[in-house]
Amino acid sequence: MSGICEGRVVAVTGAGRGLGRAHALAFAAEGARVVVNDLGVGLDGTPDADSPAALVVAEIRAAGGEAVAHGGDIATTPGAASLVATALDAYGRLDTLVNNAGFLRDRMLVNLDEEEWDAVLRVHLKGHFLPLKHAAAHWRAEAKAGRLPVARIVNTSSGAGLLGAVGQGNYSAAKAGVLALTLVAAAELARYGVQVNAVAPAARTRMTERTFADRMAAPGAGFDAMAPENVSPLVVWLGSAAGSGVTGRVFEAEGGRITVMDGWRRGPTSDKAARWTPTEAGETAQALLKQTPTPEPVYGQ
């Protein structure tokens, strides 16, 4: 196979189903050799009977590509370290990391227990940090040895991380954390030849099939706007060498639409150059809010 990722080695977490599977297949179609990570768990993070990673590897190989499976838990240090080691052992290099693994445990805040909070932050936020850390350590060593990499990290956030989502306090917090981690990683790792970006996808997967149930493709329409495969082209481009200079950015991707998200920017401000009284602070805040656009609503509000 040949394409914009020819010769690159790409590790994709949570690649057994949904978006991760679509990304793995798309990278392989563009010439990448792929490490397909999937722990093989259910929607709520409990163990599944059959891990799908091997099935995705078989699909890639059947199409003439190269891939290996990795079944480690990337939210643990051994699992994340072995993900990088698998790429190096199988192919002698790692060029791109796509952090995608995750699951949901949705509850309204008053019903959300500590275990459900911890489990979701663990897989989404810690599951981004640890693979990123171990891949970055490898690339830093390469750079210090005089072999500056052309490395890429693509993180997976969500509209819930950008705007919040009712019933998803744990997921929204984790995905907002992914955005901040992306910005920090892009700033810290640039010197080592690493570009780091994030995508907030909207697609129909096991996690979102109920959310997007009313947006199914019409029979014979020819284009399913909610298919996960629609998100993968942007992820592949961000994971290739082609996007040189693009780092620390966040994109929304849905159907045929790509949007650059603008993030937090300072709006109207007032500086007294002295301490406010509470009444003055309140009056000033109200005046500033009148100059500020109304925020976009939280999903589900």
Rounded-to-integer distance, Cα 55 and Cα 18, Å: 13
Q: What is the pLDDT of residues 223-256, one digit of tens each?
A: 788 799 999 999 999 999 999 999 999 999 999 9
Residue 3, number of CB atoms within 10 A of its CB: 15
DSSP 76: S
Higher pLDDT, 210 or 118: 118
Tell me: pLDDT of 193 over 80: yes
pLDDT of residue 70: 95
Tell me: pLDDT of 49 over 90: no
Q: Which positions are catalytic?
A: 158, 171, 175
Total length of the chain = 301
Domains of the chain: 9-260 (3.40.50.720)
Mean pLDDT on 91-103: 96
Tokens of 231: 């998100």
pLDDT of residue 205: 57
Q: What is the pTM of this model?
A: 0.90
Tell me: pLDDT of 166 over 70: yes
Tokens of 183: 């910005």
Alpha carbon 39 to chain centroid, angstroms: 17
- Dihedral sign from CA coordinates of 223, 226, 228, 234: positive
Mean pLDDT on 188-197: 98
From the list 33, 24, 98, the residue with the least C-alpha distance to 65 is 33
Specify the amino acid at residue 185: A
Indicate left, alpha or beta for 164 from its phi (over 0: left) and psi (-120 to 50: alpha): left
Tell me which of 19-28, 136-145, 207-216 is least confident.
207-216
Rounded-to-integer distance, Cα 236 and Cα 66, Å: 16
Share of the chain above pLDDT 70, in %: 90
Residue 255, number of CB atoms within 10 A of its CB: 15
Average pLDDT for the chain: 91
Q: What is the pLDDT of residues 248-295, one digit of tens each?
A: 999 999 999 999 998 888 999 999 999 999 999 999 999 999 999 998
The partner residues of 224 in beta bridges, in order of sequence, read none
pLDDT of residue 43: 55
From the list 256, 258, 228, 260, the residue with the least C-alpha distance to 246 is 260
Tell me which of 97-106, 159-168, 215-224, 239-248 is least confident.
215-224
Tell me: pLDDT of 206 over 80: no
Tokens of 43: 């929607």
Between the alpha carbon of residue 7 and those of residues 3, 10, 13, 43, 104, the distances in Å are 9, 10, 20, 34, 35
Tell me: pLDDT of 42 over 70: no
